[in-house]
Structure 1
Amino acid sequence: MERSGALKKTPEATGGGDSGTLCRRMFLAMTGGTYIAALLAGRSAQAAGHAASAVTFSGQSVVVAGDGVRSVDVSTGTAAGLTAADRPIRALASHPDHPDRLFAAPAGGGIARSDDGGRVWRSSINGLPDAQVTALAVAAAAPGTVYAAVAGDGLWCSEDAGRTWSFVMDRPWIEEAERDVLALTSVNLASGMGGIWLYAGTRRGLTRVPDCFCRWQDVVAGDAMDALAAGAAPPPEAPLPEGEPVLALASAHAAPERLYAALPSGLWASADSGVTWERRSSLHARALAVDPADPSHIAAATDAELKHSRGGGANWTTLAAL
């Protein structure tokens, strides 16, 4: 997958002044080459964790992670402990084509991969900077392609299921500053260049980039090429609330135009690829995941509970206490 222009710096992407950014990236890459700490042992927590900060579907179960990793059967609510993590996990990602293959981002940096649904993990960081990974996503149409957002740096990609990594895109440039990505999801849409978009949530709202990695842009109606050519596009009629952080994002594999977002104001849903949104409930979620087989079935981690909704976020049932 060739990424034309992916490494080109522009004032939009960097705010001018390449030298500091490049030196920072060089340092991160060099230190990342020597970073071999495992996910689950050998290092004390570097940041305070939450009871749950990441969820993903794995077959008929929801894997929920934070200070530890558990699997919860969505039919029975039965929870099974998978791993007691020495470091809190900040993000999880999976793909329905490989339901037992999970990627996790532990506090303090690095990425780990599990091929058995979260029971055994191994380090998966070759080439990745030694810095906190804030968000993860597996490409919607390519289960071997994984994206990682690195704090203070940008977007990294692995095309071999996490074995090796390369830099592809700076952080979003929003309101005169680079913004770290808090949430990330891959969406297989016909309007994307090559068919795939990456949607990102930041502290200043929602943005996205096509998989050519040419430029972060606002979510607008219409074709990606038209949006790029138009430059500043008119805002959508019903965007997400302005200025609120997007804490979690999730897309529906079976219905790519369906997106969900967790904000401080509640759970929001879009049926048109993020152009217009409606508030579905006041639920305060830390993490979201959508059932690959049912776009109306959502799992969400709150401060105290793992919940799920079979009505697109309008009503919720508790699956397990956290």
Structure 2
Amino acid sequence: MKAIVFRLKSALLRFFLITLAVVLPTLAHAQSSGDSQSVKALTSNPSGALVVLRDRGLFAIDGDTSTEIPLPTPDAGAQPTSLAKGADGSIYLAGPGLGVWRYNSANNSWQALNNTLPDLGVTAMATHATQAGTLYAYLGEDGMFRSRDGGAEWVKVDGGPREPVQAFLHSDMPGSMESGWLFAGTTRGVARSMDCFCFWGDAGDLRGTVSAISYDPAAPENVYAVVEGQLHHSTDGGETWANVKAPGTVTALTFSPVHGFVTAVEGGNLFAHGDGGEWTPVYE
């Protein structure tokens, strides 16, 4: 009897070990695949295709087609984190250790725009809403830099908001003494300044770390911000904010001429927001 029980226990143990050997790699692959799908930034190209920066690379999504865009090959340790589209449709990529790069779609190549930056520690960048050659880059303790010639020459224009900037945009919302407004997502909330860099102040009382920020080019008073995964919307240029129910924990935002307002959620899925408030999946 003891021998039978021993053989049964041995058989069960072998079955358990074989099951683990089969299941664990599958689970590990699923986890790894999910992580690699995470979206860090969004924009769109001149044709309206979404440009998606994932942990596993950069992709252009046009209808059911997803095309990988090879990333630039800078120094090891560089972290692409920001995407922006210029007024002329140019696509820019930036991040710590990477600096700022512009994509040339004619020959599928990248051009570094870092010659006059003090270092490559760019944590956020933005493009001017209407001036194709005007770019903005935030370099932490080095402050805020602007280029008026497409990145050939950068000049420090401001120290930036009091808190570190995580996300950044330029808007042609009316009311500025110059050409528009700058909105910065910081570790405290949303900061706002006219683009004359006259003064940084709070945009409303939204509090928390802002990881993504965007606005509607057709109605610039409509600004969207993500605070710790939650989506918030302002209809008055950041004076007041309201929570918006999203289809998941939000990681990135953009406005597309084809899809309208698009969000990326945890896990990598993309959703477009309809006029009726519904969320529609954007398929790859």
Q: Deviations over 1:34-92 (max 9, x none)?
A: xxxxxxxxxxxxxx99843111111321101144110011xx23211111565441101
Equivalent position SS for 1:137:
strand
> Per the alignment, do residues 91 and 117 of structure 1 end up closer, same or farther by CA in structure 2, a change over 3 Å counting?
farther
State the partner residue of 2:64: 77
Alignment-derived partner of residue 53 in structure 2: 65
Select the residue among 179, 204, 214 that pairs with 1:250.
Answer: 214
Q: 1:113 aligns with which of 102, 118, 121?
A: 102
Whose Rg is larger? Answer: 2
Of the three residues 183, 204, 208, the one matched with 1:199 is 183
| 188 and 118 in structure 1: CA distance in 2 versus 1, 3 angstrom threshold | farther
Secondary structure, counterpart of 1:190 in structure 2 = coil
Give unmatched runs, 5+ long, in structure 2. 1-34
Partner of 1:89 in structure 2?
Answer: 80
> Over residues 147-176 of structure 1, what are the superposed CA-to-partner deviations in whole Å (9 max), with x where a residue is unaligned?
011122211101011121110110312xxx
User: Could you tell me how far apart the structure 1 residues matched to 2:107 and 2:161 are?
Assistant: 31
Cα offset for 1:311? 2.2
The aligned residue for residue 19 of structure 2 is none
Q: 2:270 aligns with which of 307, 316, 321?
A: 307
C-alpha distance 274-115 of structure 1, shift in aligned 2 (>3 A): same
CA distance in 1, matches of 2:37, 2:156: 29
Tell me how far 1:259 sits from its aligned partner.
Answer: 0.8
**Contact 2:80/2:98 (8 A) holds in 1:** no
AA aligned opposite 2:271? H
Distance 1:103 1:119 in 2: 13
Residue aligned with 1:148, SS? strand
Contact residue 37 and residue 267 of structure 2 kept, 8 A: no
TM-superposed deviation, 1:141? 2.2
1:53·1:91 contact (CA, 8 Å) conserved in 2? Answer: yes
CA distance in 2, matches of 1:246, 1:209: 16
Paired residue type of 1:256 = P
Q: Residues of 1 paired with 2:121 and 2:135: CA distance?
A: 16
Q: Point out the structure with the larger strand share.
A: 2
Amino acid at match of 1:62: L
| Aligned match for 1:151, one of 140, 149, 157 | 140
CA deviation profile, 1:263-322 (whole Å, cap 9, x unmatched): 12511111111111111114322221112x47x82222333224132326944333357x
* Cα pair 2:212 2:252 within 8 Å, conserved: yes
* Greater fraction helix: 2
**Matches for 1:1-322 after TM superposition, within 5 Å:** 51-58=38-45, 59-67=47-55, 68-73=57-62, 76-84=63-71, 87-95=78-86, 97-99=87-89, 101-116=90-105, 119-173=108-162, 179-219=163-203, 236=204, 239-240=205-206, 242=207, 244-264=208-228, 266-282=230-246, 283-291=248-256, 293=257, 297-311=260-274, 314-320=277-283
Distance in 2 separating the partners of 1:115 and 1:83: 12
Q: TM-score, normalised by structure 2?
A: 0.77
Shift in alpha-carbon separation, 1:150–1:118, aligned structure 2, 3 A: farther
Among the aligned pairs, what percent are the same residue? Answer: 31
Q: Is the 8 A contact 1:102 1:118 kept in 2?
A: no
Please report how far the alpha carbon of residue 190 of structure 1 lies from its aligned counterpart in structure 2 after TM superposition: 2.0
The CA distance in 1 between the partners of 2:226 and 2:174, in whole Å, is: 25
User: Which stretches in structure 1 are left out of the alignment for 5+ residues?
Assistant: 1-47, 174-178, 220-235
Give the aligned length.
243
Question: What code does the residue aligned with 1:213 have?
Answer: F
Write the letter of the residue equivalent to 2:44. F
